[in-house]
Structures are given as C-alpha cells and as structure tokens.
C-alpha cells in the first residue's frame, strides 16, 4: 500500500487505478460547522492510532530541512502526563470536562498505538492534531484513510499562514461578531486588501456579504464558504484534482519567471509522484543558466528520479525535451516533469522557447496528457499576479503552483490569483524541503487561513 498524494488516499500499487471520483468536496458541500464533538473526538483518536501504526513509506527520502517542531516532538511515555491543550477548538472548549476527556483520550490513543509498530513520526495528540482532525473529518474523510504526512503537512500549512492569520483573525472575529453594517464592511475591505486578496476579489466578497443580510454569527462561516467558492471557481469546467493518468504518459511543464520556484517544485513533485507510485522522469530543459542543470540533478537525486539532461554548450531546450520524451516512451514512464528557464535574453525569446517546447511535446507525444503549470511566488503579492497575467497570455497555462507560502507571503494572494487569472491552484509550496509541496485543497487552505 502506498499513499497516493495526488488522489489523497492509500492505493495498492500493484492494482490498476480505478476511475477517479471527486474527493475534494465541491465548494459548498463541506459542512460549515464541525460534526458533533463526540464523533470528532473518536475520529481524531482513530486517526492518531492509525498514524502511529502506519508503516514508513518504502523509500521516503531523508527530510532535508528541520521539520516543524510540532510534528516531531517525541510522544511522551505512557506514564507522562499529557501536555495540556492550549486554545482548544470551540467544539472542545464547550465541553465542561475538556481536560479530563483529553487526558483520557490521549492515554487510550497511545495505548492503542503501542500495540502497533512505531514509525517514529512522533505526532502529538494535542490541539494542533485535533485541528487537523477537524479539517480532515470536515471534508468527509474517514480516519483510516488519513496519512501521518497529511497531518504534518496541514500543521505546516497552518504555521506558514500564521503571519496572515494572526493579524487578520482577531480583527475579523471582532468584526464578524457584530452586524455587518457599512462601517464593518469598510474595515473588512481594509483587512482583505492587507491580506493581498486584491481589489477585484475584495469588491466581489464585500458585494456578496452585503447582499446576504447575514446574522452576526453567520458572517465568518459565510466568508469561509465564499472564499472556498472563489478558489474552486475554475474547477467548474475541470477535474477537481490534478492526477497523472496511470499507465499513460503525462507531461507537466513548469513555467514562470526566474526565482519563482520552478526547479524546486519539480523536485518536490518528483518526490510526491515517486512516493505515490508513478514512474517519473525529469527533463532539464533550462539550458540557459549553467547551474540550472546541476540544480535539477540534485533535486532528482533527492527524489530518486532520473534526470534527462545535456550539459553541452548552447543546447536547445527543445532537443532535451525531445530526448526526454523518447526515453519516457521507451520506458513506459507515467509522469515527465519539464523544468524550463525563467529568464532568457528577453521576454520574447522566453515565450518563443516555451512555444517551441510545447510544439515538440504535442508532436512527439500526441498521446500524452499535457499540463502547463505556472509557478508563482506568493510573496510577490499583486506584483506576482501581474507578472503571471503576462505569462498566461503567451503560454497555454492550465494551472498554478503557488510557492513560498511559508515566508512573508500573505495568504489572500491565492484568492487574487484564482480570480484574476481564472486558473485553478493545483499545488502549494510551503518550505524549501522535498516534502514541502502538496496538492491544493480550498477547504484546507481556508481553514488554515482562518483557523480560530
């Protein structure tokens, strides 16, 4: 069994893949409120025990950056008192005997875990674990289908969005607690603009909320629902998840300005695909910068994926792509990831080169499922979106990878990207390590952005 990250579920690598059902709930189908607390606690307890019993992935690469502290704390010995849970979620806070219940739960969850082989992941049954349980259960997931890495990732995403959430949330809760009058809407406008949501999307949100005539307590859930609906907008005409089609060649081209994170994203995606059971190959088609080939080769080693490269001088990137397609077809490769240059002598040259690469792919691999993913640095905010607009006009972009959400980025930029480009976000990056990129889920993103 491997955890297929693209499908977000465990699969049997030896069995042919079934047709893909939509696992991400449509924008409005996720419950606005959490399921009843007892169910959720039982859910969290089962998921915790499962993550402790989970066998390590066959060849998970060594983590190449310090993982988030929360994910790596050692599980206290059974005799230790469990750590108190600070800032519990509302559903837990409402319980009169919260601490006693949690103590009992942590103890029993650990007991169940002790019987199974330890993976050393060291997840702690604490407030953050309960938050991830709430988010995963809220999407209709069964606790048995959740992997430890998903939990670690959600915690990391939430931490990455701290800088947006912390100033936003307290003021937002204050605002949303009262009537949404003209003054409150004006304050909300300022908050959304500060979070990089962008003027167009901000106007749209304010218009919708003003028209909804919401009771005070309904404003925050309504805002969450609206953000999800906006983020999922482009999926109305597309598949909800971007998954490489099994037993067939898929070619994913990474394009974007220099420094956006294309090469890093290739490395992380190669790792994700390899671990998820897809045969994968990388084409080093950024031949403009001398160091680019070496950089992508290092990523290939980290992800245990072979790189097709030509280290000669004045190499035509389209020729590298040609070689890579030939190799992929000869070996029955499922996913070919193509790294491209972010800067050439001028913008026209760059666009011409991308066209040429695309023509080669279409000609030599007409059977392939081709995706062109625009890699976008989230820390650039509105400037990045404007740069991206120029790019999407020239290249037939089909989706976006938003990187650097762990840095100074303000998370609202995701909404601006989707609204202004009309493209779905397919993956998000929140760190420089090989594990720090995962498929995008609007539900998880909005929960992480506005987690209480």
Ligand X SMILES: Nc1nc2c(ncn2[C@@H]2O[C@H](COP(=O)(O)OP(=O)(O)OP(=O)(O)O)[C@@H](O)[C@H]2O)c(=O)[nH]1
* Alpha-carbon torsion, ordered 178, 180, 181, 186, to 10 deg: 110
403 forms part of the interface with Mg ion (CB under 5 A): no
State yes or no: residue 260 binds ligand X (CB under 6 A).
Answer: yes
Q: How far is the CB of 160 from ligand X (least distance, A)?
A: 8
**CA–CA distance from 274 to each of 86, 137, 395 (Å)?**
38, 27, 27
Distance CA 115, CA 172 (A): 45
Count of CB atoms within 10 A of residue 177's CB? Answer: 12
Residue 398 near which of Mg ion, ligand X, none (CB within 5-8 Å, type-dependent):
none
Q: Which of 51, 52, 263, 271 binds ligand X (CB under 6 A)?
A: 263
- Residue 426 is a binding residue for ligand X (CB under 6 A): no
Among 429, 435, 440, 448, binds ligand X (CB under 6 A): 429
Asked if 287 interacts with ligand X (CB under 6 A), we say: no
For the residues of 87-111, what is the DSSP string, one character each?
S--HHHHTSTTHHHHHHHHHHHHHH
Stretch that binds Mg ion, among 173-181, 212-220, 263-271, 318-326 (CB under 5 A): 263-271
Paired tokens of 388: 């991206």
Nearer to Mg ion, 286 or 444 (CB): 286
Kindly provide the residue ranges of all beta strands, DSSP E only, lying in 237-355, ordered along the sequence.
250-255, 280-285, 306-308, 335-340
The single residue among 292, 395, 397, 448 that binds ligand X, judged by CB under 6 A, is 292
- The nearest distance, CB 62 to ligand X, in angstroms, is 17
Q: By C-beta, is 51 or 263 nearer to ligand X? A: 263
Query: Does 404 participate in binding ligand X (rule CB under 6 A)?
Result: yes
> Count of residues binding Mg ion (CB under 5 A)?
2
Among 406, 418, 439, 443, binds ligand X (CB under 6 A): 406
| Interface with ligand X, residue 384, by CB under 6 A | no
Determine the number of helices (DSSP H) and then strands (DSSP E) in the chain. 17, 10
Residue 254: closest CA among 431, 361, 399: 399
Cα-Cα-Cα-Cα torsion 371, 271, 260, 398, nearest 10 degrees, comes to 10
Helix H or strand E encompassing 384: helix 381-394
List the one residue from 263, 280, 287, 441 that touches Mg ion (CB under 5 A): 263
What values do phi and psi take at 385, rounded to 5?
A: -65, -40
302 in Cβ contact with 293 (< 8 Å): no
Please say which residue, 115 or 291, places its beta carbon nearer to Mg ion: 291
State the alpha helices, DSSP H only, in 21-72: 37-53, 69-72
Q: Which residues, 17 to 36, sit near ligand X by CB under 6 A?
A: none
Q: How many residues bind ligand X (CB under 6 A)?
A: 21
Choosing from 68, 89, 342, 399, the residue that interacts with ligand X (CB under 6 A) is 342
Q: For ligand X, give the closer residue by CB, 159 or 264.
A: 264
Segment contacting Mg ion (CB under 5 A): 105-113, 114-122, 150-158, 262-270? 262-270
Closer of 159 and 263 to Mg ion (Cβ): 263
How far is Cα 92 from Cα 38, in angstroms, rounded to an integer? 9
Partner interacting with residue 160 (select from Mg ion, ligand X, none; CB below 5-8 Å by kind): none
Tell whether residue 264 is a contact of ligand X (CB under 6 A): yes
- Measured from each CB, the residue nearest to ligand X is 342
Asked if 430 touches ligand X (CB under 6 A), the answer is yes
Torsion angles phi and psi, residue 11, rounded to 5: -135, 160
Judged by beta carbon distances under 5 to 8 A according to partner kind, the member of ligand X, Mg ion, none in contact with residue 381 is: none
Q: Which is nearer to ligand X, 108 or 379 (CB)?
A: 379
| Separation of alpha carbons 252 and 246, rounded Å | 14
Q: Which two tokens stand for residue 47?
A: 């998921």
Residues in contact with ligand X by CB under 6 A are 256, 258-264, 286, 292, 342, 375, 403-404, 406-407, 429-432, 436
């Amino acid at each position: 069994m491997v955890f297929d990250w693209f499908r977000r579920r465990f699969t049997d690598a030896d069995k042919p893949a079934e047709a893909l059902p939509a696992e991400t709930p449509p924008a409005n189908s996720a419950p606005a409120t959490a399921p009843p607390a007892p169910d959720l606690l039982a859910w969290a307890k089962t998921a915790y025990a499962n993550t402790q019993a989970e066998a390590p992935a066959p060849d998970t690469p060594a983590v190449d950056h310090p993982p988030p502290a929360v994910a790596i704390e050692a599980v206290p010995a059974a005799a230790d008192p469990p750590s108190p849970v600070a800032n519990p979620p509302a559903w837990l806070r409402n319980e009169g005997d919260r601490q006693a219940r949690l103590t009992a739960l942590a103890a029993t969850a650990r007991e169940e875990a002790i019987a199974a082989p330890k993976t050393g992941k060291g997840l702690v049954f604490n407030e953050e674990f309960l938050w991830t349980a709430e988010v995963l259960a809220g999407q209709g997931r069964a606790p048995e289908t959740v992997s430890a890495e998903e939990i670690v990732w959600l915690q990391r995403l939430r931490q990455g969005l701290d800088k947006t959430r912390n100033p936003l949330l307290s003021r937002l809760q204050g605002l949303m607690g009262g009537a949404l009058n003209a003054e409150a809407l004006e304050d909300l406008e300022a908050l959304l603009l500060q979070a990089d949501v962008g003027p167009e999307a901000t106007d749209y949100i304010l218009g919708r909320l003003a028209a909804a005539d919401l009771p005070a307590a309904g404003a925050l859930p309504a805002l969450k629902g609206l953000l999800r609906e906006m983020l999922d907008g482009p999926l109305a005409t597309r598949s909800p998840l971007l998954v490489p089609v099994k037993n067939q060649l898929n070619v994913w081209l990474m394009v974007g300005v220099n420094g956006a994170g294309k090469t890093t994203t290739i490395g992380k995606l190669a790792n994700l695909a390899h671990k998820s059971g897809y045969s994968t190959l990388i084409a080093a088609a950024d031949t403009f910068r001398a160091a680019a080939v070496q950089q992508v080769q290092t990523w290939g080693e980290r992800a245990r994926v072979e790189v097709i490269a030509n280290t000669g001088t004045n190499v035509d990137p389209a020729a590298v792509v040609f070689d890579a397609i030939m190799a992929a077809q000869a070996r029955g490769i499922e996913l070919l990831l193509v790294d491209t240059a972010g800067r050439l002598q001028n913008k026209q040259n760059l666009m011409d080169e991308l066209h040429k690469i695309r023509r080669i792919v279409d000609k030599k691999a007409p059977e392939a499922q081709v995706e062109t993913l625009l890699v976008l640095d989230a820390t650039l905010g509105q400037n990045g979106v404007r740069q991206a607009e120029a790019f999407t006009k020239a290249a037939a972009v089909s989706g976006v990878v938003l990187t650097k959400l762990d840095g100074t980025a303000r998370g609202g930029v995701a909404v601006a990207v989707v609204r202004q480009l009309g493209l779905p976000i397919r993956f998000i990056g929140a760190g420089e390590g090989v594990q720090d990129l995962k498929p995008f889920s609007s539900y998880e993103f909005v929960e992480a952005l506005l987690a209480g």
